């Protein structure tokens, strides 16, 4: 048994897609969420900068006494996984769980991967997929405009701007005939109704935050690291920009109001 909280982080709001899933899987667990809202997006930055930010984010969570760290960010997962592996607590990211779900799901062996520029250029999803099944055909596509659209709440299924951008990005992958698409950035599931309607009915969408949350929950359960039953839970949110703007958009991600304190912090530059 381990009563310490679980630490989750992202460059901004996207990691909330994993937090939401974790709340449902392990409702008794306390969570510390860190969103680097002052420095989002990460996905257009250099590898060195992403790695520096990721190390600072992880150090911040460790200072809060977490028992496990989930990098709920495709960009960090694909660029700084080795930093996470060196933490003194179990570390999880989104690449492996999402790749395994996609490889298990595809029937025609054609898998699309969308993500930030950094994630797609790292090639990490393609390598993880081919390591699972060398016969897979992988179709990657960077979608750099999706994160700012989501962070600015252009997320309604009727949102014309987001739909037009999605049509532009997803056209080639749809034409390739993929039957499975990894939403390789944790911001993307929030616009999955738009992505799904552009891709068409037969295409399965893989949510990496959800798959990573399942993997984390399974490991904590398997290793006896869950908290004691009946213990009061708490959620704390830390951001690096205005808490108010985070709170209002976070509610759209979580499907409920933010419960717990939201505090502005500085983790370095
Ligand atoms: N949620 C992050 C990811 O999964 C967003 C990336 C960004 O900050 O650009 O990649």
pLDDT tens by residue, 213-244: 999 999 999 999 999 887 778 899 999 999 99
Of 265, 106, 91, nearest to 181 (Cα)?
106
Rounded to whole angstroms, the Cα distance separating 53 from 51 reads 5
- Which of the residues 73, 149, 194, 258 is marked catalytic? 73
Pocket test for ligand 1, best of 15, 73, 120 (most atoms within 8 A of CB): 73
Q: What is the pLDDT at residue 269?
A: 87
Residues 63, 65, 71, 77: is their CA dihedral positive or negative? positive
pLDDT digits (tens, 9 = 90+) for 124-136: 999 999 999 999 9
- How many residues does this entry show for the chain? 269
| Degrees, nearest 5: CA angle 138-142-93 | 75
pLDDT digits (tens, 9 = 90+) for 1-35: 989 999 999 999 999 999 999 999 999 999 999 99
Rounded to whole angstroms, the Cα distance separating 43 from 74 reads 9
| Contact (CB, 8 A) for 94 and 121 | no
Write down all domains in the chain, each with its CATH number in brackets.
6-93+210-264 (3.40.50.1860), 95-208 (3.40.50.1860)
Q: What is the pLDDT at residue 232?
A: 75
Instruction: Give the residue-averaged pLDDT of 167-196.
Output: 97
Residue 259 has pLDDT above 90, yes or no: no
Rounded to whole angstroms, the Cα distance separating 248 from 242 reads 11
* Residue whose CA lies nearest to ligand 1 atom number 6: 43
Pocket test for ligand 1, best of 186, 190, 209, 212 (most atoms within 8 A of CB): 186
pLDDT digits (tens, 9 = 90+) for 138-161: 999 999 999 999 988 899 999 999
53-79 exposure pattern, b = at least 16 Cβ within 10 A, e = fewer:
bbbbbbebbeeeebbbbbbbbbbbbbb
Categorize the per-residue pLDDT at 249 as very low, low, confident or very high, splitting at 50, 70 and 90: confident
| Contact (CB, 8 A) for 79 and 122 | yes
Q: What is the pLDDT at residue 252?
A: 84
Rounded to whole angstroms, the Cα distance separating 101 from 113 reads 13
Q: What is the pLDDT at residue 22?
A: 95
* Atom nearest to 41 CA in ligand 1: 8
Rounded to whole angstroms, the Cα distance separating 15 from 215 reads 15
Instruction: Give the residue-averaged pLDDT of 247-267.
Output: 90
Pocket test for ligand 1, best of 8, 15, 74 (most atoms within 8 A of CB): 74
Q: What is the pLDDT at residue 261?
A: 87
Give percent of the chain with pLDDT exceeding 90.
Answer: 89
**How many angstroms does the Cα of residue 148 sit away from the middle of ligand 1?**
10
Cis peptide leading into 239, omega within 30 of 0? Answer: no
**How many angstroms does the Cα of residue 159 sit away from the middle of ligand 1?**
21
- Which of the residues 22, 147, 166, 185 is marked catalytic? 185
Instruction: Give the residue-averaged pLDDT of 245-258.
Output: 89
73 is an active site residue: yes
Neighbours of 265 (CB within 10 A): 11
Cis peptide leading into 194, omega within 30 of 0? Answer: no
Rounded to whole angstroms, the Cα distance separating 70 from 8 reads 5
| Contact (CB, 8 A) for 141 and 113 | yes
Categorize the per-residue pLDDT at 55 as very low, low, confident or very high, splitting at 50, 70 and 90: very high
**How many angstroms does the Cα of residue 40 sit away from the middle of ligand 1?**
8
**How many angstroms does the Cα of residue 187 sit away from the middle of ligand 1?**
6
* Residue whose CA lies nearest to ligand 1 atom number 2: 73
Categorize the per-residue pLDDT at 245 as very low, low, confident or very high, splitting at 50, 70 and 90: confident
Question: Would strands 6-10 and 235-239 be described as parallel, antiparallel, or unpaired?
Answer: unpaired
pLDDT digits (tens, 9 = 90+) for 60-116: 999 999 999 999 999 999 999 999 999 999 999 999 999 999 999 999 999 999 999
Both structure tokens of 5: 């909280």
Q: What is the pLDDT at residue 237?
A: 96
**How many angstroms does the Cα of residue 191 sit away from the middle of ligand 1?**
14
Rounded to whole angstroms, the Cα distance separating 67 from 89 reads 6
Q: What is the pLDDT at residue 231?
A: 77
| Contact (CB, 8 A) for 71 and 93 | yes
Q: What is the pLDDT at residue 106?
A: 98
Rounded to whole angstroms, the Cα distance separating 181 from 187 reads 15
Q: Which residues line ligand 1 (CB under 6 A)?
A: 10-12, 14, 40-43, 73-75, 116, 119, 147, 185-187
Rounded to whole angstroms, the Cα distance separating 57 from 35 reads 9
């Amino acid at each position: 048994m381990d009563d310490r909280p679980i630490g989750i982080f992202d460059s901004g709001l996207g990691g909330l897609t994993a937090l939401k899933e974790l709340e449902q899987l392990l409702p008794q667990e306390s969570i510390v969420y860190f969103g680097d809202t002052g420095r989002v997006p990460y996905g257009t930055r250099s590898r060195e900068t992403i790695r520096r930010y990721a190390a600072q984010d992880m150090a911040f969570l460790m200072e809060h006494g977490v028992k496990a760290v989930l990098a709920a960010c495709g960009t960090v997962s694909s660029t700084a996984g080795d930093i996470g592996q060196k933490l003194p607590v179990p570390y999880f990211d989104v690449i492996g769980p999402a790749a395994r779900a996609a490889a298990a799901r595809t029937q025609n062996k054609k898998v699309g991967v969308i993500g930030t520029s950094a994630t797609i250029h790292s090639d990490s999803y393609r390598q993880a997929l081919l390591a699972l099944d060398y016969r897979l055909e992988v179709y990657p596509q960077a979608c750099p405009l999706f994160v700012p659209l989501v962070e600015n709440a252009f997320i309604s299924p009727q949102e014309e701007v987001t739909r037009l951008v999605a049509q532009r990005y997803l056209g080639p992958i749809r034409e390739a005939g993929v039957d499975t698409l990894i939403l390789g950035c944790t911001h993307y599931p929030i616009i999955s109704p738009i992505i799904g309607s552009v891709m068409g009915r037969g295409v399965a969408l893989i949510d990496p935050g959800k798959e990573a949350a399942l993997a984390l929950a399974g490991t904590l359960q398997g290793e006896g690291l869950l908290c004691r039953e009946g213990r009061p839970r708490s959620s704390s949110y830390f951001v690096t920009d205005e808490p108010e703007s985070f709170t209002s958009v976070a509610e759209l991600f979580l499907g409920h109001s933010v419960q717990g304190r939201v505090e502005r912090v500085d983790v370095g530059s």
